[in-house]
């Protein structure tokens, strides 16, 4: 599939659940998380149908994410179904690692190719302050299990926050000296930094109106904003926590050593480097300060069955309703092409258009 800006779309990220066993400060409220009713969540046969159509249209890579994908029952079975879909060459997963020690072996057997594990700190007390559930030790055991079963390369994703964990970036970089990990530093993204005002919704509406100004039909829906819970960081606090990647890089170079450019084919939007003599690499994902939109190759499927062409724009197309109305694969195919045709050229964060309709746990990151 090619979109209207000439980009090849061959990557589908699937959020398999909006539930999670953690409550990371930047992602979910500590209590009272807003999760979809169970009957809205796509069943595995429905996901399989969507993946089959996507593969026929040229999708080659699928990533399972969430919420936490490993809390979904029989997730190994879904991995196997997707890995066996003709045309799909790679099935990967993004996980918080808490249940990974239990599932690593089965996931590998079922055909999982690679894994990204989120890890924001190497300090057990801090871990509890950031994730607000779980334990560092159990995540470290998950990483070790992934290594032992040969899920490689292992990528470790660290969201860097000022005052929470920014003093650990050099330690994370040093991990690559002795281990073949790809450590990736991620800028905090303005997903659902909802301060209760409705200007975000207004801007999103104007944005989508502009996209559809010349078309007759739009099946896109603008997901309604959910107002932030008081137990989540406020938009104001999130802005204060933001650390740009150039600062992270500078800190690593000052505290450890200068970085050399490195090529990692599977590193998506990360800019990748290596410490001299290191076994692994360090990468920087700066969705906010640089944008990779010109090379974006992905679509997202939410756990409740909406196809979303851009993480940073709230427009989505409902696939669940037509599937459940028995409209068949031909209709799903048409909706995929419609979604791709209206994939926005880039994000408009600098113009103040931020996604307000869903939290990251619903979008999958």
Q: Give the pairing type, strands 154-160 and 114-118.
A: parallel
**Which partner, ligand SF4, ligand SAM, none, binds residue 28 by CB below 5 to 8 Å per kind?**
ligand SF4
* Cα angle 11-71-13, degrees, rounded to a multiple of 5: 10
The per-residue DSSP string of 219-258 comes to -EEEPPP-PPPTTS--HHHHHHHB--HHHHHHHHHHHT--
Paired residues of 88 in beta bridges? none
Helices (H), 132-223: 136-149, 169-178, 199-211
CA–CA gap between residue 283 and residue 285 (Å, rounded): 7
Give the shortest CB-27-to-ligand SAM separation in angstroms. Answer: 4
**Which partner, ligand SF4, ligand SAM, none, binds residue 23 by CB below 5 to 8 Å per kind?**
ligand SF4
CA–CA gap between residue 185 and residue 276 (Å, rounded): 18
Positions touching ligand SAM (CB under 6 A) are: 20, 26-27, 65-66, 68, 94-96, 118, 157, 159, 186, 188-189, 191, 360-361, 364-365
**Which partner, ligand SF4, ligand SAM, none, binds residue 273 by CB below 5 to 8 Å per kind?**
none
For 115, 194, 206, 283, 365, the CA distances from 224, given in Å and listed in that order, are 32, 12, 14, 34, 19
Write each residue from 55 to 94 as x if it is in contact with ligand SF4 (CB under 6 A), else as -, in one continuous string: -----------xxx--------------------------
Give the shortest CB-109-to-ligand SAM separation in angstroms. Answer: 21
Helices (H), 25-93: 44-56, 75-83
Q: Assess 96 for contact with ligand SF4 (CB under 6 A).
A: yes
Q: What is the DSSP letter of 71?
A: G
Smaller CB distance to ligand SF4: residue 67 or 357?
67
**Could you say which residues in the range 12-41 bind ligand SF4, by CB under 6 A?**
20, 22-24, 27-28
- Binding-site size for ligand SF4 (CB under 6 A) equals 13
Smaller CB distance to ligand SAM: residue 27 or 59?
27
Which residues are at the interface with ligand SF4 (CB under 6 A)?
A: 20, 22-24, 27-28, 66-68, 96, 118, 360-361
């Amino acid at each position: 599939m090619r979109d209207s800006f000439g980009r090849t779309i061959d990557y589908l990220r699937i959020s398999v659940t909006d539930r999670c066993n953690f409550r990371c400060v930047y992602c979910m409220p500590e209590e009272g998380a807003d999760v979809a009713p169970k009957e809205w969540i796509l069943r595995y046969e429905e996901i399989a149908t969507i993946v089959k159509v996507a593969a026929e249209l040229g999708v080659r890579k699928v990533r399972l994410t969430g919420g936490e994908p490993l809390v979904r029952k029989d997730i190994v079975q879904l991995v196997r179904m997707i890995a066996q879909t003709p045309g799909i060459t790679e099935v990967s997963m993004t996980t918080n690692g808490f249940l990974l020690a239990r599932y690593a072996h089965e996931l590998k057997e079922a055909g999982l190719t690679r894994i990204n594990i989120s890890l924001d700190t190497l300090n057990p007390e801090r871990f509890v302050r950031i994730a607000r559930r779980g334990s560092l030790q159990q995540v470290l055991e998950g990483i070790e299990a992934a290594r032992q079963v040969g899920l490689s390369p292992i990528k470790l994703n660290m969201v860097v926050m000022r005052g929470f964990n920014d003093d650990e970036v050099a330690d994370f970089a040093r991990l690559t000296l002795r281990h073949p990990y790809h450590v990736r530093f991620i800028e905090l993204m303005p997903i659902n930094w909802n301060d209760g005002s409705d200007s975000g919704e207004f801007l999103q509406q104007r944005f989508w109106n502009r996209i559809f100004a010349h078309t007759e039909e739009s099946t896109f829906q603008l997901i309604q904003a959910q107002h932030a819970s008081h137990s989540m960081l406020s938009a104001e606090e999130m802005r204060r926590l933001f650390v740009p990647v150039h600062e992270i890089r500078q800190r690593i170079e000052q505290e450890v050593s200068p970085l050399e450019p490195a090529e990692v084919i599977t590193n998506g939007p990360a800019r990748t480097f290596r410490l001299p003599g290191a076994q692994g690499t360090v990468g920087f994902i700066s969705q906010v300060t640089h944008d990779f939109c010109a090379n974006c190759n992905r679509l997202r499927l939410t756990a409740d069955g909406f196809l979303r062409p851009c993480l940073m724009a709230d427009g989505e197309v409902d696939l669940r309703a037509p599937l459940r109305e028995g409209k068949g694969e031909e209709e799903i195919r048409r909706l995929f092409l419609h979604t791709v045709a209206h994939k926005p050229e880039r994000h408009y964060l600098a113009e103040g258009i931020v996604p307000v309709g869903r939290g990251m746990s619903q979008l999958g990151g």
